[in-house]
Amino acid sequence: MDTKQVEEVSTPFITSSTSHSNKPTLLLKLITSMSLISAIIFSLLFFSLSEPTTTSRPLKKLPHPVVILISSDGFRFGYQFKTPTPNIHRLITNGTEAITGLIPVFPTLTFPNHYSIVTGLYPPHHGIINNFFYDPITGDKFTMASHQSKWWLGQPLWETVVNNGLSAATYFWPGSEVIKGSWTCPDEFCKHYNGSVHFEDRVDSVLDYFDLPVDQIPVFMTLYFEDPDHQGHQVGPDDDEVTQAVSRIDGIIGRLINGLEKKGFFDDVTIIMVGDHGMVATCDQKLVFLDDLASWVEIKTNWVHSYTPLLAIWPPSNYSYADVVAKMNEGLSSGKVENGNKLKVFLKEDLPERLHYADSDRIPPIIGLVHEGYKVEQSRTGNKECGGAHGYDNEFFSMRTIFIGHGPQFARGKKVPSFENVEIYNLITSILNIKGAPNNGSDSFSQSVLLPNA
Protein backbone atom coordinates (compact mmCIF):
# COMPACT_ATOMS: atom_id res chain seq x y z
CA MET A 1 0.00 0.00 0.00
CA ASP A 2 1.44 3.42 -0.95
CA THR A 3 1.12 6.70 0.98
CA LYS A 4 -1.79 7.84 -1.15
CA GLN A 5 -3.68 4.69 -0.27
CA VAL A 6 -2.95 5.23 3.43
CA GLU A 7 -4.38 8.72 3.22
CA GLU A 8 -7.50 7.51 1.44
CA VAL A 9 -8.13 4.73 3.92
CA SER A 10 -7.54 6.92 6.97
CA THR A 11 -9.70 9.94 5.97
CA PRO A 12 -11.93 10.48 9.05
CA PHE A 13 -15.68 10.86 9.13
CA ILE A 14 -16.56 14.58 9.31
CA THR A 15 -19.92 15.85 10.55
CA SER A 16 -21.32 19.29 9.76
CA SER A 17 -23.64 19.30 12.75
CA THR A 18 -22.91 21.87 15.47
CA SER A 19 -25.69 20.79 17.80
CA HIS A 20 -24.02 17.53 18.83
CA SER A 21 -21.52 17.17 21.63
CA ASN A 22 -17.78 17.63 21.16
CA LYS A 23 -17.22 13.84 21.11
CA PRO A 24 -17.11 13.64 17.29
CA THR A 25 -14.57 16.45 17.30
CA LEU A 26 -12.39 14.63 19.82
CA LEU A 27 -12.81 11.41 17.89
CA LEU A 28 -11.84 13.24 14.72
CA LYS A 29 -8.66 14.57 16.34
CA LEU A 30 -7.81 11.16 17.73
CA ILE A 31 -8.32 9.40 14.41
CA THR A 32 -6.38 12.09 12.58
CA SER A 33 -3.47 11.79 15.01
CA MET A 34 -3.45 7.99 14.73
CA SER A 35 -3.59 8.20 10.94
CA LEU A 36 -0.70 10.64 10.89
CA ILE A 37 1.38 8.44 13.16
CA SER A 38 0.54 5.39 11.03
CA ALA A 39 1.54 7.22 7.86
CA ILE A 40 4.85 8.31 9.41
CA ILE A 41 5.63 4.77 10.61
CA PHE A 42 4.70 3.35 7.21
CA SER A 43 6.92 5.88 5.43
CA LEU A 44 9.86 5.14 7.72
CA LEU A 45 9.47 1.40 7.14
CA PHE A 46 9.04 1.84 3.42
CA PHE A 47 12.11 4.00 2.94
CA SER A 48 14.24 1.90 5.30
CA LEU A 49 13.43 -1.18 3.23
CA SER A 50 13.76 0.49 -0.13
CA GLU A 51 16.88 2.50 0.63
CA PRO A 52 19.70 0.96 -1.41
CA THR A 53 22.42 -0.81 0.54
CA THR A 54 25.85 0.36 -0.53
CA THR A 55 27.99 -2.33 1.11
CA SER A 56 27.61 -5.96 2.11
CA ARG A 57 26.00 -6.69 5.46
CA PRO A 58 28.40 -7.95 8.14
CA LEU A 59 28.14 -11.53 9.36
CA LYS A 60 26.63 -11.89 12.81
CA LYS A 61 27.28 -15.49 13.73
CA LEU A 62 29.53 -17.11 11.14
CA PRO A 63 33.30 -16.52 10.91
CA HIS A 64 33.19 -16.84 7.12
CA PRO A 65 30.63 -16.65 4.28
CA VAL A 66 28.56 -19.78 3.56
CA VAL A 67 26.81 -20.42 0.23
CA ILE A 68 23.97 -22.88 -0.34
CA LEU A 69 23.48 -23.48 -4.08
CA ILE A 70 20.01 -24.89 -4.83
CA SER A 71 18.86 -26.35 -8.13
CA SER A 72 15.21 -26.96 -8.95
CA ASP A 73 15.46 -29.03 -12.12
CA GLY A 74 13.38 -27.76 -15.04
CA PHE A 75 12.15 -24.67 -13.19
CA ARG A 76 11.20 -22.58 -16.21
CA PHE A 77 11.32 -18.83 -15.76
CA GLY A 78 7.76 -17.72 -15.02
CA TYR A 79 6.86 -20.76 -12.93
CA GLN A 80 7.31 -18.57 -9.86
CA PHE A 81 4.11 -16.78 -10.94
CA LYS A 82 2.02 -19.90 -11.63
CA THR A 83 0.89 -20.16 -8.04
CA PRO A 84 1.55 -18.38 -4.75
CA THR A 85 5.23 -18.90 -3.90
CA PRO A 86 5.71 -16.85 -0.73
CA ASN A 87 9.06 -18.38 0.21
CA ILE A 88 10.63 -17.97 -3.21
CA HIS A 89 9.29 -14.43 -3.36
CA ARG A 90 10.72 -13.71 0.05
CA LEU A 91 14.14 -14.46 -1.42
CA ILE A 92 13.34 -12.35 -4.49
CA THR A 93 12.01 -9.38 -2.53
CA ASN A 94 14.95 -9.32 -0.15
CA GLY A 95 17.57 -10.38 -2.66
CA THR A 96 18.73 -10.07 -6.26
CA GLU A 97 16.96 -11.60 -9.24
CA ALA A 98 17.72 -12.02 -12.94
CA ILE A 99 14.72 -10.05 -14.08
CA THR A 100 14.04 -12.03 -17.26
CA GLY A 101 15.61 -15.27 -16.16
CA LEU A 102 18.87 -17.18 -16.24
CA ILE A 103 20.18 -18.28 -19.65
CA PRO A 104 21.29 -21.92 -19.80
CA VAL A 105 24.15 -23.15 -21.93
CA PHE A 106 23.52 -25.13 -25.10
CA PRO A 107 22.38 -27.85 -25.21
CA THR A 108 19.74 -26.96 -22.64
CA LEU A 109 19.97 -30.34 -20.93
CA THR A 110 20.39 -31.32 -17.29
CA PHE A 111 23.94 -32.62 -17.04
CA PRO A 112 25.69 -30.09 -19.32
CA ASN A 113 24.02 -27.20 -17.49
CA HIS A 114 24.52 -28.39 -13.94
CA TYR A 115 28.21 -28.88 -14.63
CA SER A 116 28.50 -25.50 -16.34
CA ILE A 117 27.01 -23.84 -13.27
CA VAL A 118 29.67 -25.30 -10.96
CA THR A 119 32.67 -25.00 -13.32
CA GLY A 120 31.95 -21.76 -15.20
CA LEU A 121 32.77 -23.62 -18.41
CA TYR A 122 30.82 -24.26 -21.61
CA PRO A 123 30.14 -27.96 -22.29
CA PRO A 124 32.95 -28.45 -24.85
CA HIS A 125 35.42 -27.27 -22.20
CA HIS A 126 34.10 -29.24 -19.22
CA GLY A 127 33.46 -32.34 -21.30
CA ILE A 128 29.81 -33.10 -20.52
CA ILE A 129 28.42 -32.28 -23.94
CA ASN A 130 25.13 -34.17 -23.54
CA ASN A 131 23.31 -36.40 -21.07
CA PHE A 132 24.55 -39.36 -23.14
CA PHE A 133 27.49 -39.43 -25.54
CA TYR A 134 30.47 -41.50 -26.70
CA ASP A 135 34.22 -41.19 -26.37
CA PRO A 136 35.33 -41.04 -30.04
CA ILE A 137 38.64 -42.74 -29.26
CA THR A 138 37.66 -45.61 -26.97
CA GLY A 139 34.00 -45.92 -27.94
CA ASP A 140 33.04 -45.83 -24.25
CA LYS A 141 29.59 -44.43 -23.55
CA PHE A 142 28.89 -41.72 -21.01
CA THR A 143 25.62 -41.99 -19.12
CA MET A 144 24.19 -40.09 -16.19
CA ALA A 145 25.62 -42.82 -13.95
CA SER A 146 29.20 -42.39 -15.21
CA HIS A 147 31.48 -41.32 -12.35
CA GLN A 148 34.91 -41.89 -13.87
CA SER A 149 36.97 -38.72 -13.67
CA LYS A 150 38.04 -38.99 -17.32
CA TRP A 151 34.67 -37.64 -18.41
CA TRP A 152 34.50 -34.67 -16.04
CA LEU A 153 36.95 -31.94 -17.02
CA GLY A 154 37.40 -28.52 -15.45
CA GLN A 155 37.33 -27.75 -11.74
CA PRO A 156 33.93 -27.83 -10.00
CA LEU A 157 33.25 -25.58 -7.04
CA TRP A 158 33.54 -28.31 -4.41
CA GLU A 159 37.07 -29.05 -5.65
CA THR A 160 37.90 -25.34 -5.75
CA VAL A 161 36.74 -24.93 -2.15
CA VAL A 162 38.92 -27.83 -0.96
CA ASN A 163 41.87 -26.43 -2.92
CA ASN A 164 41.50 -23.29 -0.82
CA GLY A 165 41.72 -25.24 2.43
CA LEU A 166 37.97 -25.13 3.17
CA SER A 167 35.23 -27.76 3.24
CA ALA A 168 32.28 -28.33 0.91
CA ALA A 169 29.18 -30.51 1.13
CA THR A 170 27.10 -31.81 -1.79
CA TYR A 171 23.59 -33.15 -1.46
CA PHE A 172 23.29 -34.38 -5.03
CA TRP A 173 24.65 -32.54 -8.05
CA PRO A 174 25.84 -33.99 -11.35
CA GLY A 175 29.56 -34.64 -11.02
CA SER A 176 29.72 -34.35 -7.24
CA GLU A 177 30.29 -38.08 -6.73
CA VAL A 178 33.33 -38.04 -8.99
CA ILE A 179 36.62 -38.40 -7.09
CA LYS A 180 38.76 -35.84 -8.82
CA GLY A 181 41.77 -33.76 -7.81
CA SER A 182 41.50 -32.76 -4.16
CA TRP A 183 37.84 -33.79 -3.94
CA THR A 184 37.42 -37.25 -2.40
CA CYS A 185 33.62 -37.19 -1.98
CA PRO A 186 33.86 -37.71 1.81
CA ASP A 187 31.04 -39.75 3.31
CA GLU A 188 30.00 -37.10 5.81
CA PHE A 189 29.82 -34.34 3.18
CA CYS A 190 29.02 -36.05 -0.13
CA LYS A 191 25.70 -37.78 -0.77
CA HIS A 192 25.50 -40.32 -3.57
CA TYR A 193 22.49 -39.74 -5.76
CA ASN A 194 19.29 -41.47 -4.72
CA GLY A 195 16.14 -40.04 -6.23
CA SER A 196 13.93 -41.76 -3.65
CA VAL A 197 15.22 -39.55 -0.81
CA HIS A 198 12.44 -37.18 0.23
CA PHE A 199 13.03 -33.51 -0.42
CA GLU A 200 12.41 -32.77 3.26
CA ASP A 201 15.18 -35.17 4.27
CA ARG A 202 17.60 -33.46 1.91
CA VAL A 203 16.90 -30.08 3.46
CA ASP A 204 17.12 -31.45 7.00
CA SER A 205 20.50 -33.02 6.27
CA VAL A 206 21.87 -29.67 5.08
CA LEU A 207 20.42 -27.97 8.16
CA ASP A 208 22.24 -30.52 10.33
CA TYR A 209 25.55 -29.09 9.11
CA PHE A 210 24.72 -25.93 11.03
CA ASP A 211 24.81 -27.90 14.28
CA LEU A 212 28.56 -28.35 13.80
CA PRO A 213 31.01 -25.97 15.46
CA VAL A 214 30.92 -22.80 13.37
CA ASP A 215 34.47 -23.25 12.09
CA GLN A 216 33.54 -26.73 10.79
CA ILE A 217 30.41 -25.75 8.85
CA PRO A 218 31.07 -26.31 5.12
CA VAL A 219 31.39 -22.99 3.31
CA PHE A 220 29.76 -24.35 0.15
CA MET A 221 26.77 -26.70 -0.05
CA THR A 222 24.55 -27.95 -2.87
CA LEU A 223 20.92 -29.04 -2.80
CA TYR A 224 19.23 -30.65 -5.80
CA PHE A 225 15.54 -31.34 -6.47
CA GLU A 226 14.22 -33.23 -9.50
CA ASP A 227 10.97 -31.24 -9.68
CA PRO A 228 9.31 -29.67 -11.61
CA ASP A 229 11.31 -31.22 -14.48
CA HIS A 230 9.76 -34.63 -13.85
CA GLN A 231 6.21 -33.35 -14.17
CA GLY A 232 7.06 -31.01 -17.05
CA HIS A 233 8.24 -33.91 -19.20
CA GLN A 234 5.12 -35.93 -18.50
CA VAL A 235 2.40 -33.32 -18.97
CA GLY A 236 4.03 -30.17 -20.37
CA PRO A 237 4.72 -26.85 -18.65
CA ASP A 238 1.11 -25.63 -18.45
CA ASP A 239 -0.48 -28.53 -16.57
CA ASP A 240 -1.78 -28.40 -12.99
CA GLU A 241 0.75 -31.08 -12.01
CA VAL A 242 3.56 -28.62 -12.72
CA THR A 243 1.79 -25.94 -10.69
CA GLN A 244 1.55 -28.35 -7.76
CA ALA A 245 5.23 -29.27 -8.13
CA VAL A 246 6.20 -25.58 -8.05
CA SER A 247 4.13 -25.12 -4.90
CA ARG A 248 5.92 -28.07 -3.32
CA ILE A 249 9.33 -26.62 -4.18
CA ASP A 250 8.27 -23.35 -2.58
CA GLY A 251 7.37 -25.25 0.58
CA ILE A 252 10.76 -26.93 0.58
CA ILE A 253 12.48 -23.54 0.27
CA GLY A 254 10.37 -22.41 3.21
CA ARG A 255 11.55 -25.40 5.23
CA LEU A 256 15.16 -24.39 4.58
CA ILE A 257 14.53 -20.75 5.47
CA ASN A 258 12.66 -21.62 8.66
CA GLY A 259 15.36 -24.08 9.70
CA LEU A 260 18.12 -21.53 9.20
CA GLU A 261 16.12 -18.94 11.14
CA LYS A 262 15.60 -21.28 14.08
CA LYS A 263 19.33 -21.95 14.21
CA GLY A 264 20.09 -18.23 13.92
CA PHE A 265 22.03 -18.42 10.65
CA PHE A 266 19.59 -17.17 8.02
CA ASP A 267 20.92 -13.60 7.93
CA ASP A 268 24.50 -14.83 7.46
CA VAL A 269 23.96 -17.54 4.84
CA THR A 270 23.90 -16.84 1.11
CA ILE A 271 21.20 -18.77 -0.76
CA ILE A 272 21.47 -18.98 -4.53
CA MET A 273 18.48 -20.63 -6.20
CA VAL A 274 18.71 -21.61 -9.85
CA GLY A 275 17.30 -24.01 -12.37
CA ASP A 276 19.20 -25.76 -15.13
CA HIS A 277 16.84 -25.10 -18.04
CA GLY A 278 13.24 -24.38 -18.94
CA MET A 279 10.54 -26.47 -20.60
CA VAL A 280 8.29 -26.26 -23.66
CA ALA A 281 5.18 -28.20 -24.66
CA THR A 282 5.57 -30.85 -27.35
CA CYS A 283 3.09 -33.01 -29.24
CA ASP A 284 3.63 -35.75 -31.75
CA GLN A 285 2.16 -33.80 -34.66
CA LYS A 286 5.25 -31.56 -34.42
CA LEU A 287 7.66 -34.13 -35.82
CA VAL A 288 10.41 -34.36 -38.41
CA PHE A 289 11.23 -37.87 -39.64
CA LEU A 290 14.74 -38.68 -40.83
CA ASP A 291 13.45 -41.51 -43.00
CA ASP A 292 11.65 -38.89 -45.11
CA LEU A 293 15.10 -37.76 -46.32
CA ALA A 294 15.86 -41.11 -47.96
CA SER A 295 15.48 -39.64 -51.49
CA TRP A 296 18.40 -37.32 -50.73
CA VAL A 297 20.49 -39.24 -48.18
CA GLU A 298 19.88 -42.27 -45.99
CA ILE A 299 20.46 -41.48 -42.32
CA LYS A 300 21.09 -44.81 -40.65
CA THR A 301 20.05 -45.34 -37.06
CA ASN A 302 23.58 -46.26 -35.96
CA TRP A 303 24.75 -42.83 -37.16
CA VAL A 304 22.45 -40.99 -34.77
CA HIS A 305 23.84 -40.33 -31.28
CA SER A 306 20.80 -38.30 -30.19
CA TYR A 307 17.56 -37.43 -31.92
CA THR A 308 15.78 -34.67 -30.12
CA PRO A 309 15.77 -31.83 -29.33
CA LEU A 310 19.50 -32.01 -30.12
CA LEU A 311 20.05 -33.97 -33.31
CA ALA A 312 23.61 -35.36 -33.33
CA ILE A 313 24.84 -37.49 -36.23
CA TRP A 314 28.19 -39.22 -36.71
CA PRO A 315 28.45 -40.97 -40.10
CA PRO A 316 31.31 -43.39 -40.76
CA SER A 317 34.61 -41.78 -41.68
CA ASN A 318 34.30 -42.81 -45.33
CA TYR A 319 31.40 -40.37 -45.74
CA SER A 320 31.84 -36.68 -46.43
CA TYR A 321 30.23 -34.92 -43.49
CA ALA A 322 29.76 -31.77 -45.54
CA ASP A 323 28.03 -33.76 -48.28
CA VAL A 324 25.64 -35.36 -45.76
CA VAL A 325 24.78 -31.92 -44.35
CA ALA A 326 24.19 -30.48 -47.83
CA LYS A 327 21.90 -33.32 -48.89
CA MET A 328 19.95 -33.23 -45.63
CA ASN A 329 19.33 -29.50 -45.91
CA GLU A 330 18.38 -29.88 -49.58
CA GLY A 331 15.70 -32.37 -48.62
CA LEU A 332 14.52 -30.39 -45.61
CA SER A 333 14.08 -27.25 -47.71
CA SER A 334 12.43 -29.01 -50.66
CA GLY A 335 8.89 -28.65 -49.38
CA LYS A 336 8.46 -32.41 -49.75
CA VAL A 337 9.43 -33.37 -46.18
CA GLU A 338 6.84 -32.98 -43.47
CA ASN A 339 7.90 -30.09 -41.19
CA GLY A 340 11.21 -30.00 -43.05
CA ASN A 341 11.46 -26.25 -42.59
CA LYS A 342 11.52 -26.80 -38.81
CA LEU A 343 14.98 -28.41 -38.83
CA LYS A 344 18.33 -27.11 -40.03
CA VAL A 345 21.51 -29.16 -40.05
CA PHE A 346 25.07 -27.87 -39.56
CA LEU A 347 28.61 -29.05 -39.48
CA LYS A 348 29.40 -28.39 -35.84
CA GLU A 349 32.05 -25.82 -36.74
CA ASP A 350 29.39 -23.86 -38.65
CA LEU A 351 26.97 -23.61 -35.74
CA PRO A 352 26.29 -20.06 -34.50
CA GLU A 353 29.23 -19.04 -32.33
CA ARG A 354 26.87 -17.93 -29.54
CA LEU A 355 26.12 -21.63 -28.88
CA HIS A 356 29.75 -22.39 -27.94
CA TYR A 357 29.28 -25.95 -29.18
CA ALA A 358 32.13 -26.96 -31.45
CA ASP A 359 35.41 -27.15 -29.56
CA SER A 360 35.36 -30.80 -28.46
CA ASP A 361 36.06 -34.06 -30.22
CA ARG A 362 33.23 -35.58 -28.18
CA ILE A 363 30.67 -33.55 -30.13
CA PRO A 364 29.50 -35.41 -33.27
CA PRO A 365 30.40 -33.65 -36.53
CA ILE A 366 26.79 -33.02 -37.61
CA ILE A 367 24.34 -31.15 -35.41
CA GLY A 368 20.72 -30.36 -36.16
CA LEU A 369 18.75 -27.52 -34.59
CA VAL A 370 15.01 -28.06 -34.47
CA HIS A 371 12.41 -25.36 -33.94
CA GLU A 372 10.91 -24.80 -30.51
CA GLY A 373 8.47 -27.55 -29.54
CA TYR A 374 9.34 -29.81 -32.47
CA LYS A 375 10.96 -33.24 -32.24
CA VAL A 376 13.06 -35.39 -34.54
CA GLU A 377 12.42 -39.10 -34.94
CA GLN A 378 13.72 -41.79 -37.23
CA SER A 379 10.39 -43.03 -38.54
CA ARG A 380 6.64 -42.82 -37.99
CA THR A 381 5.28 -44.79 -35.04
CA GLY A 382 1.72 -43.52 -34.86
CA ASN A 383 2.10 -42.29 -31.28
CA LYS A 384 0.03 -39.25 -30.41
CA GLU A 385 1.25 -38.18 -27.01
CA CYS A 386 1.86 -34.72 -25.62
CA GLY A 387 4.30 -33.65 -22.93
CA GLY A 388 7.26 -31.34 -22.50
CA ALA A 389 10.89 -31.16 -23.53
CA HIS A 390 14.06 -29.09 -23.29
CA GLY A 391 17.46 -29.19 -24.98
CA TYR A 392 16.58 -26.62 -27.63
CA ASP A 393 18.52 -23.54 -28.70
CA ASN A 394 19.18 -21.48 -25.58
CA GLU A 395 17.97 -18.40 -27.47
CA PHE A 396 14.38 -19.59 -26.95
CA PHE A 397 12.84 -17.81 -23.98
CA SER A 398 11.08 -21.04 -22.95
CA MET A 399 14.49 -22.52 -22.12
CA ARG A 400 15.25 -19.85 -19.52
CA THR A 401 15.20 -20.65 -15.85
CA ILE A 402 15.57 -18.66 -12.63
CA PHE A 403 18.36 -16.98 -10.72
CA ILE A 404 17.78 -15.65 -7.20
CA GLY A 405 20.57 -14.57 -4.86
CA HIS A 406 19.84 -13.78 -1.21
CA GLY A 407 22.39 -13.01 1.46
CA PRO A 408 24.78 -10.45 2.93
CA GLN A 409 26.40 -9.59 -0.41
CA PHE A 410 23.20 -9.33 -2.46
CA ALA A 411 21.28 -6.06 -2.53
CA ARG A 412 17.66 -6.22 -1.49
CA GLY A 413 15.14 -5.92 -4.31
CA LYS A 414 17.77 -5.62 -7.03
CA LYS A 415 17.03 -6.73 -10.59
CA VAL A 416 19.85 -7.61 -12.96
CA PRO A 417 19.71 -8.37 -16.69
CA SER A 418 19.64 -11.99 -17.81
CA PHE A 419 23.02 -13.70 -17.99
CA GLU A 420 24.47 -17.10 -18.85
CA ASN A 421 24.95 -19.59 -16.06
CA VAL A 422 28.71 -19.82 -16.66
CA GLU A 423 28.94 -16.59 -14.62
CA ILE A 424 27.82 -18.30 -11.40
CA TYR A 425 31.17 -19.96 -10.67
CA ASN A 426 32.98 -16.62 -10.36
CA LEU A 427 30.05 -15.19 -8.43
CA ILE A 428 30.39 -17.86 -5.75
CA THR A 429 34.18 -17.72 -5.53
CA SER A 430 33.85 -13.95 -5.07
CA ILE A 431 31.33 -14.39 -2.24
CA LEU A 432 33.60 -16.95 -0.56
CA ASN A 433 36.67 -14.82 -1.28
CA ILE A 434 38.61 -17.76 -2.66
CA LYS A 435 40.78 -18.27 -5.73
CA GLY A 436 38.96 -19.96 -8.58
CA ALA A 437 40.10 -21.85 -11.66
CA PRO A 438 40.19 -20.39 -15.19
CA ASN A 439 36.73 -20.45 -16.76
CA ASN A 440 34.47 -18.92 -19.40
CA GLY A 441 32.81 -16.43 -17.06
CA SER A 442 33.81 -12.77 -16.96
CA ASP A 443 35.94 -11.34 -14.17
CA SER A 444 33.81 -8.20 -13.92
CA PHE A 445 30.42 -9.90 -13.61
CA SER A 446 30.56 -10.38 -9.85
CA GLN A 447 31.29 -6.69 -9.33
CA SER A 448 28.14 -5.77 -11.23
CA VAL A 449 25.92 -8.07 -9.13
CA LEU A 450 27.39 -8.17 -5.62
CA LEU A 451 27.64 -5.47 -3.02
CA PRO A 452 31.19 -4.39 -2.23
CA ASN A 453 32.61 -5.60 1.07
CA ALA A 454 31.80 -3.42 4.05
Query: What residues are labeled active site?
Result: 110
Measured between its terminal Cα atoms, the distance across the chain in Å is: 32
Using the CB atoms, write b or e for 357-391: b if 16+ within 10 Å: bbebebbbbbbbbbbbbbbbeeeeeeeeeebbbbb
Provide the 10 A C-beta neighbour count for residue 11: 11
| Per-residue 3-state assignment (H helix, E strand, C coil) for 217-274 | CCCEEEEEECCCHHHHHHHCCCCHHHHHHHHHHHHHHHHHHHHHHHHCCCCCEEEEEE
413: left (phi over 0), alpha (psi -120 to 50) or beta: left
Which letter does DSSP use for residue 118 in this model? Answer: H
Q: Could you give the C-alpha distances from 415 to 332, 404, 408, 438, in angstroms and in order?
A: 42, 10, 16, 27
> What gap in Å lies between CA 421 and CA 344, rounded to an integer?
26
User: Would you call the peptide bond into 309 cis, given omega within 30 degrees of 0 as the criterion?
Assistant: yes
Cis bond leading into 438, ω under 30°? no
According to DSSP, the residues that pair with 306 across neighbouring strands are: 312
Which value, to the nearest 10 degrees, does the dihedral of the CA atoms of residues 248, 279, 226, 418 take? Answer: -90
Distance CA 264, CA 217 (A): 14
E strand or H helix at 210: none
